[in-house]
Amino acid sequence: MRSRYSAYAIKDSEYIFQTYAMSKQPDNAINDIKEWAEQTTWLTLEILPTDPESTFESAKDNEQQYYYVEFCADYLTNNEVWQMHEYSRFIIEDAQLKYLDGEVKHNKLLRTVTRNDTCPCGSARKYKRCCQK
Residues 6 or more apart whose CB falls under 8 angstroms from that of 105 comprise 85, 86, 87
Max distance between CA atoms of the chain, in angstroms, equals 54
Quick one: which of 74, 65, 129 has its CA closest to 107? 74
> Would you state the pLDDT for residue 62?
58
What pLDDT shows up at residue 49?
A: 85
54 versus 24: which is more confidently predicted?
A: 24
Segment 74-122, tens digit of pLDDT: 999 999 999 999 999 999 999 999 999 999 999 999 999 999 999 999 9
Contacts of 99 (CB under 8 A, 6+ apart): 4, 19, 20, 21, 24, 88, 89, 90
Q: Rounded CA gap, 100 and 86, in Å? A: 13
Q: How far apart are CA 95 and CA 22, in angstroms?
A: 13
Quick check: 1 and 69 in contact, CB under 8 A? yes
Q: What confidence tier does 61 reach under pLDDT thresholds 50, 70, 90? A: low
